[in-house]
Structure 1
Amino acid sequence: MSVPAAAPVDRVRGVATGLLTAALAMAAHGAGGGALPSGAVAALLVVVAITAGALAASTVRARSPRYLMGLLAAGQLLGHVLLSAAGHHHTGPAAPPAAAMFAAHLVAIVAGAALIGAGDRLWRAVSRTVRTIVRVAYAVVARPAATAHSADQPLRSALLLAASVSHRGPPVSFAR
């Protein structure tokens, strides 16, 4: 049994999910007072983003906004855990409350799902329009132009052929 290939819109959704998972995790974490990742933590965040993108591209249920929000929520949770494990702490007088960090990640989930959903609808609308335009243009080009019927007149051709053939043969005395 073969696995059907993902549609282009599924691959685009996967790429968008992966990119937004990493970018919004870092942005929300930074907005909540966290530091940006470096080294192994950044590499692990890339792995989380690739995994989220692959799941969004390969799962048919990812077209559902609820599933997409759950996928982004899992990505934000894992991203927050990874970024928190980077060695910096959210303590001290300048540290924002935990509610601000949670709110930033929550806004990232909702914004990410809204952006991916809007991109999905836009991709489908644009591709449907392009397919329609190509189909109409192909129909116009593929339609044969009015062709003139053959101008060759068979009777005249037969007369010209008969007139061009030599009726002269070898001399009679030679044939004996």
Structure 2
Amino acid sequence: MNEFGVNVFPYREETNHFCNAAWVVWTSGMAAAAGREGRLDLLMSLVAQQVRNSVMTKTFYEVIDYRTGKAWRWPGQLWHVAGFISYFLFGVLGIEYDERGMSFAPAVPKTLRDLRLDNLRYREAVLDIAVHGFGTKFRMTCDGEQVDGLIPASLTGKHLIEFWS
């Protein structure tokens, strides 16, 4: 791993769109795992790599050369934008789903403290999410009432979900 991303096939001598390349979407699971493990340093590094890449190129390229940071193949890839967004949903906010509903396990680096996400659609509900503070220990409320971290699948309408460190 370097400032350009994670080399997902580092043991191959050739350089092509798989070998010695950084792919945003392939590392979204790493961001989720970093959040689950409380590795705020690693999570922030993964986020910062992609912020750097998208700011430097003014778009989301599918392939970044791991050694040079040069974006050289397939610009404007919406699935890589989705991969980057998943860093926040599944890494920083720690969202998971099951048949009961949606749960959260936030892992918020200090740089991302006090973040807000509005109008996240979940089934028949629309959620505004506000994080107050940073870290991995949060108290969660829904419309001001303390909840145990689970948004039931049956929830409908607009709601404010807040996390307090």
Length-normalised TM-score, structure 1:
0.23
Q: Whose strand proportion is higher, 1 or 2?
A: 2
Where relative contact order (Cα < 8 A, 6+ residues apart) is larger, the structure is 1
Q: Whose helix proportion is higher, 1 or 2?
A: 1
Larger Rg: 1
